[in-house]
Amino acid sequence: MSFRMDGQETMKVSEKKQAATTQVPPATYEELIRVIHDRYARLSNSYQKIALYMTQNPNDVAVDSVHVAAGKCGVHASGCVRFAQSFGYQGYRDLQTIFRHRLSTAALGFSARVRALEEELDTREDRSEMGFMRDLIVRDISSLQELLANVTAQQIARAVDLMEQADTIYLIGQLRSAPVVELLRYMLTMLGKRAVLLDAAGGLATHMARVMLPTDMLFAVSFRFYASEVVNIVEETVTRNIPVVAISDSTLSPLARNADVLFSVPEHEYTFSRSLAAPMCLTQALVVALASRLQNESRKPRIPVATQK
């Protein structure tokens, strides 16, 4: 007699097999994140949700209970326990200890910044039209603070190196990412740097990307849910030894594994009002840094405007 298991039961069996694996658990946060990245593609869908949440919200993982964390991941609490066990920990608390140790030296997380700013501006219960704007501003401020805390000088310097050395900077970003690359194209063009937007109009983006040379570079922007054409172009580009700089929302995004430089700008709520304040600011910072090199003026780089004579 045979019994058919549905998709959910199959997934649970797979997770139990992963959890049963005996291994030495990662001893540090950095080691754990590295192992998560290595295994991510092989994890079940529910484990990928947990991994994505943990890499984007390490400070929240340190303080939230397993039930709260599971709710934010959209899984059952037992799934978080099995996730921890699959990495060699006895249970979720042991995994959480790694995040708590990191928190002792880390900056405030996004949620903590939002709560602090909301209390400062006294907007937590304001659901008026003005309240919506205040809420967006609070989240933008928090996102910008987190960007400043997470981006390193080495990342910026490497990205600007690639932009400076490239004969042509090809740009791609679709859906909600499109405004970021449109701004980038405008600023680079006004700076006198050759820039080509891989426009999806007419279905030519993939064909246009094939003319890139190793002396060029690709600047890609994509957030969840990732535009498939953007992901495919990035994957094809790296096979031809063309450098890629990417802005995405996670170190586990499809762009991450192929980018020479990845700027991770986490998005903590997938809502209609997801802001572009942080990626726009990052884009402007990169171009201003590039301008300071091209103009040999590190203190006051200028980017001409279209109406300037």
Instruction: Please say if the pLDDT value at position 208 is more than 60.
Output: yes
Instruction: Please say if the pLDDT value at position 159 is more than 90.
Output: yes
Distance CA 267, CA 270 (A): 7
Distance CA 97, CA 77 (A): 17
pLDDT of 117-148, one tens digit each? 555 555 556 567 777 777 777 778 878 888 88
Residue 307 backbone phi and psi in degrees, to 5? -90, 0
Stretch 70-87: mean pLDDT, rounded? 93
Q: What angle do CA 156, 140, 121 make, to 5 degrees?
A: 135
Instruction: Please say if the pLDDT value at position 184 is more than 50.
Output: yes
Stretch 5-30: mean pLDDT, rounded? 60
Determine the pLDDT at residue 41: 87
pLDDT confidence tier of residue 114, bands split at 50, 70 and 90? low
Higher pLDDT, 217 or 151: 217
Contact at 8 Å (CB) between 223 and 267?
yes
Mean pLDDT of the chain: 82
Determine the pLDDT at residue 22: 47
Determine the pLDDT at residue 145: 81
Q: What are the beta bridge partners of residue 263? A: 247
Determine the pLDDT at residue 307: 58
Let me know if 24 is exposed, middle or buried by CB neighbors in 10 A (0-12, 13-18, 19+): exposed
Mean pLDDT highest for which of 222-226, 236-240, 300-304? 236-240
DSSP letters, 233-264, are: HHHHHHTTT--EEEEES-TTSTTGGG-SEEEE
